[in-house]
């Protein structure tokens, strides 16, 4: 690959798990649920996908397992917050700690083992084109899935009855309930969708980005995904832009070190998180934009009166 191809490929690889995790969390938050357990669901997807892929020898089975692990953890959160009406912030934080601890326990047996890499798709003729071939037509199925899911979520939320119900549930759950919609069921479905995409994001890390198991390999990406939802003001297209922007920042730090520019590596490693904080401060300063787009019932429990 040329230098430009390598840069673009690595930016896409860095942005994909952020986009997947953020687009699922966006759906959950548009329904009124604040799930801070994205990091925990991602890391469980990473170890679940790696373990099944290594045992079975099939990366595709690993992808399915990663999605299943994320959904399983998300349903625990859904049961605690929607059925037992526990505090969403505290439960989400506990979910992250639980996922990090459980993944470390399960992953101890898989540390140092060679991974099963999910191979990119090769389209004869198109994948061999210079520059655009590997960048556009030579990605793996998860990259294409992340783009398709973003387009699908944007269309569903803006153009379909289901999207209207989700937005109504997050905007005023009492009114949605009075109109006959099952608020709890809608939120269960949105939470499960967020868990599926977070698990897929984790599976991408252990099956594509770094095809091996490393404890805490999510490295805070779940928190960046949460920040991306706020950064995008709950708009799917802005989530995609933000994910690729943050992915570029992440990779540029590595390239700066590689070409020998004398900048402290500790500063470069912290740069994505500093950019995240700066973006949140900038968005928070625009109160009109935040107030207009924030789901009114975000983080609020709902108990049907009948």
What is the pTM assigned to this prediction?
Answer: 0.93
Residues in contact with 233: Cβ distance below 8 Å, sequence separation at least 6, in sequence order: 283, 289, 290, 293, 294
169 touches 183 (CB < 8 A): yes
What is the distance between the terminal CA atoms of the chain, rounded to a whole angstrom? 62
In the prediction, which pLDDT does 175 show?
93
Distance CA 133, CA 130 (A): 6
In the prediction, which pLDDT does 86 show?
95
Please check the confidence at residue 257 and state whether its pLDDT lies above 70.
Answer: no
pLDDT tens digits along 146-159? 999 999 999 999 99
pLDDT tens digits along 30-63? 999 999 999 999 999 999 999 999 999 999 999 9
Q: Is CATH 1.10.3470 correct for 3-293?
A: yes
In the prediction, which pLDDT does 294 show?
86
In the prediction, which pLDDT does 2 show?
65
Which token pair is 91? 């439960």
Which range in 5-14, 77-86, 121-130 is most confidently predicted, on average pLDDT?
A: 77-86
pLDDT tens digits along 190-208? 999 999 999 999 999 999 9
On average, the pLDDT of the chain sits at 90
Banded model confidence at residue 124, pLDDT cuts 50, 70, 90: confident
φ and ψ at residue 116, rounded to 5 degrees: -105, 110
In the prediction, which pLDDT does 290 show?
67
CA dihedral (119, 120, 125, 130) positive or negative: negative
40 touches 99 (CB < 8 A): yes
SS3 212: coil
In the prediction, which pLDDT does 131 show?
78
Residues in contact with 142: Cβ distance below 8 Å, sequence separation at least 6, in sequence order: 16, 20, 63, 118, 200, 203, 204, 207, 208
């Amino acid at each position: 690959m040329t230098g430009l191809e390598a840069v673009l490929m690595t930016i896409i690889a860095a942005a994909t798990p952020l986009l997947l995790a953020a687009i699922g969390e966006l759906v959950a938050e548009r329904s009124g649920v604040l799930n801070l357990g994205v990091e925990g669901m991602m890391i469980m997807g990473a170890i679940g996908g790696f373990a099944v892929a290594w045992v079975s020898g099939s990366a595709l089975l690993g992808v399915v397992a990663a999605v299943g692990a994320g959904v399983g953890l998300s349903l625990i959160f859904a049961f605690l917050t929607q059925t037992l009406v526990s505090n969403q912030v505290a439960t989400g934080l506990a979910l992250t700690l639980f996922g990090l601890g459980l993944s470390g326990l399960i992953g101890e047996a898989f540390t140092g083992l060679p991974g099963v890499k999910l191979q990119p798709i090769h389209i004869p003729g198109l994948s061999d084109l210079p520059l655009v071939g590997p960048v556009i037509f030579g990605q793996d199925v998860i990259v294409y899935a992340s783009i398709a899911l973003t387009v699908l979520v944007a269309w569903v939320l803006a153009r379909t009855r289901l999207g209207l119900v989700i937005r109504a549930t997050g905007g005023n759950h009492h009114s949605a309930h009075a109109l006959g919609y099952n608020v709890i069921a809608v939120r269960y479905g949105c939470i499960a969708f967020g868990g599926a995409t977070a698990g897929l994001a984790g599976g991408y890390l252990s099956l594509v980005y770094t095809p091996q198991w490393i404890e805490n390999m999510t490295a805070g990406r779940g928190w960046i995904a949460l920040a991306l939802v706020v950064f995008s003001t709950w708009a799917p297209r802005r989530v995609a832009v933000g994910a690729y922007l943050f992915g570029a920042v992440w990779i540029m730090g590595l390239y700066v070190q590689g070409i020998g520019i004398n900048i402290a590596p500790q500063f470069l490693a912290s740069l994505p998180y500093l950019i995240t904080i700066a973006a949140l401060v900038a968005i928070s300063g625009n109160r009109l934009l935040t107030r207009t787009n924030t789901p009114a019932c975000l983080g609020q429990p709902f108990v049907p009166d009948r």
